[in-house]
Chains A and B, each alone.
Chain A
């Protein structure tokens, strides 16, 4: 062991090994004793054929089937940009932050007017995600209220693909939409072989908590399994509403719901890429919203992240979101703690980061910039403290001597930029700040946001854009 250079990645454990083992067994018990409700004929047939007990619309899955599926699923998944560059390596406790999807409203950074989210806003938000260095992947961010309901899911996917190069996690209403979006992805990344090697899109499908599958969700699991499209089976159980009010039960139920989809997928195509996870938080018992700022979100998702590491499955985490309607202290605190917990525990794809305000209703580009800053702060912390001869700097201390100063030393010149600086968290002396225009945090954030919103990725070649137009015209 080289004792000269010591590196350590900070770690947080939210639950211990004994708790993990018991939650695993509780998860198996839920699927064996209670099972899931499913009406999809082919889904039922496949599960029954694989060894599940199917009585009417109730499917009970024995423990051995769940554990087998966990074993056959790949323990790592690498995603790439549409250019093929492999950028998101989902393995072990690695963490990658990304935005959200399906938000309804948009807060204009210039005017601070709140309006319905449109397909134009999708482009703007996607371009901003492309610009922000701390988000390694993207989602569709908002709903296009101006697009016809039937094709809106594909319109938003197309717009993101054009305005952001980063790998895309998407939702859509049915298999037909998955097909269309997959076709666009294949066009952009150059065909099936390229896609297989470095997937550029991931489909996110949801069972309904507690423990229900509606037919389109099963349809999509089957299609993604057959085509080898990476799949996230991601329920959203809410403590007090659709899951127990106590966190361990919430986590066990969410885990069971996610793994039930894994069982189906692996029966169809063993080794197909799967991302495990659940969006767990508290249903607020005063306002009835699903709370995105609650500390319970960080707690329960943290526990699930550890379950993912126990299972050696890639994980779809959640963090960096808020119930606040503005970039205020509430937004700062809720976002920071979630990002910190996610990074320190190790949470795979951390979604809903940055574009999920007002408990999932609002997108604000300024908030995206604030969240990017917070993630940067957290990532910096997560670098840990390398202990090496260079960083201990004993010769420098000797050189400077008692009473000396380090400001002019060449060691300082070499390393001072490793200390983090920020464009929006300011540190001026008070008089200087007053004389420089007395800019508030909100003003600095707005200015930086507007500047970053100028960015656009490399435009797609004309013939690709024409082909996307042709595809779009044929969507039903």
Chain B
């Protein structure tokens, strides 16, 4: 069992040069790319996620760690055995139609990417048809809907209804979020989950995958 503790520490500390240096050294020493990714980088990012949930790391620091992860992935991608080892899951995310607020959604997207998900961000004011098109194109297994306004929350239900109509509902997990959104509302409209912040959303996505 290879000792990845130095690599994990470098990722937790957001030390980009140290991380890529250690990745290259490990490859040079004959360690497999899959091994480095799963047991070094992803495990390190999982710890980063935990620390963020506990309030031990700040969001910019988490994103710094994520950048180290991305830099390492550039090195490892050509050497990995299959595409599925890179990607934890495929998520389509957007702010629902009628709503232009996106800072929360952007934070969620960044957190999810940093934990190994492939995220397609449809932006704001996204109509149900657009979500459906993107889910089909990307073969996504998770849909994440955001709304800040109580007047646009009903659009979340319309989007879920559109998923049902198009036959996609059983193929995806739906999670929702936004300041006025609650677990109760999620249950009412038939969403699979609700998250109150980016850290919880990322955790929920891991559970779905």
Contact = CB atoms under 8 A, between A and B. Distances in A.
B197 A287 contact: yes
Nearest to A150: B151
A212 B100 contact: yes
A286 B104 contact: no
A74 B150 CA distance: 34
B137 to A, nearest CB: 26
Nearest to A37: B100
A286 B180 contact: no
Given A287-B55, A288-B104, A288-B107, A149 B60 contact: no
Given A143-B150, A152-B150, A208 B58 contact: no
B103 interface: yes
B13 to A, nearest CB: 17
B47 interface: no
B197 A149 contact: no
In this complex, the interface size class of chain B, counting residues with CB under 8 Å from chain A, is: 10 to 19
A86 interface: no
- The secondary structure that dominates the A interface is loop
A175 to B, nearest CB: 14
Nearest to B181: A104
Contacts of A152: 150-151
Contacts of A149: 150-151, 153-154
B149 interface: yes
Contact of A285 (B59, B101, B150, B153): B59
Interface in A271-318: 283, 285-288
Interface in A174-223: 208, 212, 214
A242 interface: yes
A378 interface: no
Interface in B147-200: 149-151, 153-154, 179-180, 197-198
Contact of A173 (B100, B103, B151, B180): B151
A240 interface: yes
Contact of A104 (B60, B107, B180): B180
Contact of B100 (A153, A208, A238, A286): A208
A143 to B, nearest CB: 6
A242 B103 contact: yes
A148 to B, nearest CB: 10
26 contacts: A104-B179, A104-B180, A143-B150, A149-B150, A149-B153, A150-B151, A173-B149, A208-B100, A208-B101, A214-B100, A238-B103, A240-B59, A241-B107, A242-B103, A283-B103, A285-B58, A285-B60, A286-B52, A286-B55, A286-B59, A287-B55, A288-B59, A288-B107, A288-B197, A288-B198, A361-B179
Interface of B: 52, 55, 58-60, 100-101, 103-104, 107, 149-151, 153-154, 179-180, 197-198
